[in-house]
Each structure stands twice: as structure tokens, then as C-alpha cells.
Structure 1
Amino acid sequence: MAEIKNRNAFYEYFIIDKYTAGIVLTGTEVKSLRSGKASFNDSYCIFQKGELWIKSFHIAEYTHGTFNNHDPLRERKLLLSKRELKRIENKLKEQGYTIVPLRLFFNEKNIAKVEIGLAKGKKLHDKRETIKQRESDRELKRYIK
């Protein structure tokens, strides 16, 4: 089954904490996700009236869908417990924190879940450090082989 990852999030942010949330989807969205037709480009999460929503998460229209096909960029509600929502909302009030979706996957019961991360933005020098670390790890693996 398809697992869609947000690779850019790990480059742009320090991930402080991770949460697994359910996501409210329509039938054609689920079918499209199972075929791996989704993109996390520029997607983010926001609070609206005490609920967490994911914005600009692109799920391509289902190819065999009829007039009932979904809007690819609609806002989708994320499902978390009240305790988790309160904890995240309190952290967001601090300066510099944001919520980014990290990956979308299907669990054992074939239910779509989104892993979201409480993140803090990286500065330019931190991004350079990440690139250096990745290259040195590659060279080390190449040397070991």
C-alpha cells in the first residue's frame, strides 16, 4: 500500500514531537491515496475553532471518478483526542512553532492516518549543516561497503 512522505519537512524544520492523527476523507480521495496520488507540497496544519485542519494537501482526482469526484485541494479535518489538541495548541502559542504533516499511511485496519510533527523552523546555516551531515553519512556507508 502507498505511503506518502513529506521529505521537505525534515529539511525545512526541526521536528520536536510527532503525533498520529486520523483524517476525514471521501471515497474517491481514499481510492486516489491507495494508488499513491498525493503531494505534501507547501501543506500545513492550522487550528480553526479548536479543530485541527490540514491545508493545501493535494490529493489528485480519482481517474475513474464520476461527477462525484472531490476537490483536490480542499481542507481536510484531522482527528486527534482533546488532550492532544490542547497540548499542541498550547505549544503553538510559543514563538516559532508550527505543525507540518510528515507522512500519510494506512494502518493495519486499512484506515488512512497522517503523522504530523510539531516543528520549529531551521535557519540557513542549520540547513547547510543537515546537507553536510547527509553527505558524510553517504561517504561513510560507501567506505564501509
Structure 2
Amino acid sequence: MALAVGDKAPAFTTKDTNGNTVSLADFSGKSVVLYFYPKDDTPGCTKEACSFRDSYAEYQGKDIVVLGVSADDETSHQQFTQKFNLPFPLLADIDGTIIKAYDVQRAEYNQPVASRVTYVIDGAGVISQVYTSVQTETHAKDILTALGI
């Protein structure tokens, strides 16, 4: 069942780009932009990540955390982050636990692969926005506009 605005965001704990343990609960009181993408270093995913990179300064100082999620491992995330100078953490969801919890599993794949979906989660852990149709090059700015920033 798809998650919708007003739903409690599923809790998760996983490793980030640098091997640090990250939980949704770590960001209580802050808005979280949790964007799911299919694969590191592919054309659409790179455009989307770079859109967040290029707008990252506008997210800073506003209690907004940006987290990218895919089924790629930490090594892949490290290479992707270094290649494109990404200033935010990518979360490694190798077994697809988060992908399944957020109902973004791409049906055409047997292994965990995320669809391009973004959830904005408020400081109380409730989903405030859902993006299922994403313009990769402007996505980060589109979210800022929707948040009134």
C-alpha cells in the first residue's frame, strides 16, 4: 500500500556513505527530504543528485536534512559522492528493507531497485509531501518552492 501525506513515516536504520549508522529518529524535529532513486552514477540519478547538490546551500540553516536512498552499497555511494561532490549522505539499502517499507520497489525487478520517489517528512515524523513524478534537473528547487523557501 502506497504511503500518503499524513501517514507516519516508517522508521529505519541503515549505513550511510561513510559507514555511519543512520536512523530516521536521528532527525526528530527536522524536516527530512528522503529521496529514493534507482542506481548510483546513471544519467537520471546523477541529474537528480546534482540538483540537490546545487541547491544544498538553500536547505542549510532551515532544519532540513537531505538523504538519498538506493540499494547500492556503501562503496558505490562513496564513489558516486566523490565523483559528483555530493554534500549530503546517501543511504545504503542493500537488502531493500527501506525501499519495501516506503513502497517504492520497482515491480519489474526481482532484486531491490527503488523507483524515483521522494517523501518530505516533517519534524514529527509524518509525511508532508510525496513526489512520484520527478523532474530530475529541477527536483530540489521544486521541493524548496513547495516548502515556501
* TM-score, scaled to structure 2: 0.28
Q: Give the number of the structure whose residues are more often strand, by fraction.
A: 1
* TM-score, scaled to structure 1: 0.28
